[in-house]
């Protein structure tokens, strides 16, 4: 039996699982950790939290599955994209990592476009516009605002690649995650020397770049002693959480599209050609499938909006759920089911951490619009579920517009576990949605990549065909869809109406903070 591990370094926690060559999950374990927000719009994390969680979950999986170190044929790594880990000459972390949802770099994004010779020229070099969440603006921010720290930087790693370094002692990354740095020549699957030169960034700060199933390093003595793994265990390139999750969902050929409702929301489509959009409306990158690319739209606070509501406004539900031994999200969905589509005219804009697709607006704010005395907690919750789905539809519409084939929508993440939210997605997307038997997401995807990299399968599509199975279909309601089409048009207009006010609010907050 060929056993591989998948390790996913998420924003709220790390998950590790073990699978066999048939895709059966032998064991899994998760460990949570906090995220820091030291200033409005800032989002940071201590990389040591990821390493501690990796040690804990790897040991737990080995114990649960009764695996000996030598039983593990290979390891795949996945993680939150765009984060920046700054290391000094000794490989020590210089400061907390800036995360994907950090919004402090608007000025640096403008600087990058200027140095590149304009947005269209930047997209020609790296396939994407400069977005505040990307890695490159974070490097410029450190250089501009913390010059002493910048002088100490000798290596910049993405979150999962920091775990690779701790496991193996090797600096490395792979093309799917590197695509989100804004420093990769996505068309040629290598670092963009042209842009690095224009930004005056030393290429030596960036690690070697591999294809996702390719073996990039092997577990070191230190990594083995910390985790219980065997010295020399191969570690493949892996993937950013979204390309890795797409592999786990079988999005490895044109036709099927993934809609993942996690902390962020992502609509992801496989493409055989990179294509070019001078407006850069969708994020483009190398897929975790060698020789293929992807397009995706990202909602920064999709499931994160419901998580915020749970943590801040549903403390009674959390306590009730604990006493009953159930997930508090199911109590919230039961409340939402008490009201019908549209929540009696209540809309929620899920822009709690700004927004990426399609607005590229770090100043966007969350909002309830349409509140009346008739509205209660069920309306608030349902409007959040609908608002997140409207935001995801923005990306689906762009994918349709660019001519990509959408034959099947596969949903995953927290939004796929809830029947009501699945139905809302089907009705708002205007498309039946499907779930899979495996709901393990990116960790499952990189475990499959490790199967390929260690010889269990010859290609990524072959691995997916052998292990991924559809589970359940939720059909769109043709009676409800026209209503949601009309509501969606209103949702789109609300952002346009409020965009100027959002910017004014941000300026007001900055002036007070100063």
SS3 content of the chain, % helix, strand, coil (to 5): 45, 20, 35
- Domains identified in the chain, total number: 1
Q: What is the pLDDT of residues 249-277, one digit of tens each?
A: 999 999 999 999 988 899 999 998 888 78
Cα distance between the two ends of the chain:
61
User: Is 81 annotated among the ligand-binding residues?
Assistant: yes
In a domain, 230, yes or no: yes
In a domain, 168, yes or no: yes
Which residue do the tokens 């704010």 mark? 365
Beta bridge mates, 18: 5, 27
- Predicted confidence band of residue 59 (pLDDT cuts 50, 70, 90): very high
In a domain, 391, yes or no: no
Mean pLDDT of 33-39: 93
CATH of residue 28's domain is 3.30.420.40
Assess contact for 227 and 61: CB atoms under 8 A.
no
Specify whether 241 is catalytic.
yes
pLDDT of residue 514: 59
Q: What is the pLDDT of residues 396-442, one digit of tens each?
A: 999 988 877 799 999 988 888 889 999 999 999 999 999 998 778 89
In a domain, 284, yes or no: no
Name the catalytic one among 8, 102, 161, 241.
241
Stated pTM of the model: 0.87
In a domain, 137, yes or no: yes
Domain with 455 in it: 3-249+442-468
| In the predicted structure, residue 130 carries a pLDDT above the cut 80 | yes
Q: What distance in Å separates the CA atoms of residue 495 and residue 473, rounded to the nearest whole number? A: 32
Residue 510 sits at the vertex; the CA angle it makes with 507 and 512, to the nearest 5 degrees, is: 110
In a domain, 277, yes or no: no
In a domain, 274, yes or no: no
User: Is 82 annotated among the ligand-binding residues?
Assistant: yes
């Amino acid at each position: 039996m060929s056993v591989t591990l998948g390790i996913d370094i998420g924003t709220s926690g790390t998950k590790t699982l073990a699978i066999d060559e048939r895709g059966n999950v032998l064991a899994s374990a998760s460990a949570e950790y906090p995220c820091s927000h030291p200033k409005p719009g800032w989002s940071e994390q201590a990389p040591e939290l990821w390493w501690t969680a990796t040690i804990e979950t790897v040991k737990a999986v080995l114990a649960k599955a009764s695996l000996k170190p030598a039983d593990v044929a290979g390891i795949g790594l996945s993680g939150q994209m765009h984060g920046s880990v700054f290391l000094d000459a000794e490989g020590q972390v210089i400061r907390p990592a800036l995360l994907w949802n950090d919004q402090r770099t608007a000025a640096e994004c403008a600087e990058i476009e200027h140095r590149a010779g304009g947005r269209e020229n930047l997209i020609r070099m790296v396939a994407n516009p400069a977005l505040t969440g990307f890695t490159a603006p974070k490097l410029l921010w450190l250089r501009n605002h913390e010059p002493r720290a910048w002088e100490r930087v000798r290596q910049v790693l993405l979150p999962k690649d920091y775990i690779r370094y701790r496991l193996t002692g090797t600096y490395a990354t792979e093309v799917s995650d590197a695509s989100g740095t804004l420093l990769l020549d996505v068309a040629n699957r290598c670092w963009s020397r042209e842009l690095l030169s224009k930004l005056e960034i030393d290429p030596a700060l960036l690690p070697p770049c591999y294809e996702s199933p390719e073996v990039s390093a092997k577990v070191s003595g230190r990594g083995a002693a910390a985790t219980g793994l065997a010295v020399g265990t191969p570690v493949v390139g892996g993937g950013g959480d979204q390309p890795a999750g797409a592999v786990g969902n079988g999005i490895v050929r044109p036709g099927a599209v993934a809609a993942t409702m996690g902390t962020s929301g992502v609509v992801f489509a496989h493409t055989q050609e990179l294509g070019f959009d001078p407006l850069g409306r969708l994020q483009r990158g190398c897929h975790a499938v060698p020789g293929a690319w992807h397009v995706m739209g990202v909602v920064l606070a999709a499931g994160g909006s419901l998580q915020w509501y749970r943590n801040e406004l549903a403390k009674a539900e959390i306590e009730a759920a604990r006493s009953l031994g159930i997930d508090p999200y199911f109590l919230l969905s039961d409340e939402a089911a008490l009201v019908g589509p549209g929540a009696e005219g209540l809309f929620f804009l899920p822009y709690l951490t700004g927004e990426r697709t399609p607005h590229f607006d770090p100043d966007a704010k969350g909002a309830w619009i349409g509140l009346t005395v008739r509205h209660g907690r069920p309306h608030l919750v349902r409007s959040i579920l609908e608002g997140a789905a409207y935001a995801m539809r923005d990306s689906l519409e762009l994918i349709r517009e660019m001519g990509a084939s959408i034959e099947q929508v596969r949903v995953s993440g927290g939004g796929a576990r809830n029947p009501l939210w699945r139905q809302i997605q089907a009705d708002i997307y205007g498309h039946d949605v499907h779930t899979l038997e495996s709901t393990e997401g990116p960790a499952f995807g990189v475990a499959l990549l490790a199967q390929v990299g260690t010889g269990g399968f010859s290609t990524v599509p072959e691995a997916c065909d052998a292990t991924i199975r559809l589970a359940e279909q939720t059909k769109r309601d043709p009676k409800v869809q026209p209503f949601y089409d009309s509501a969606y048009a209103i949702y789109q207009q609300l952002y346009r109406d409020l965009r100027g006010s959002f910017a004014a609010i941000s300026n007001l907050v900055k002036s007070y903070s100063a």
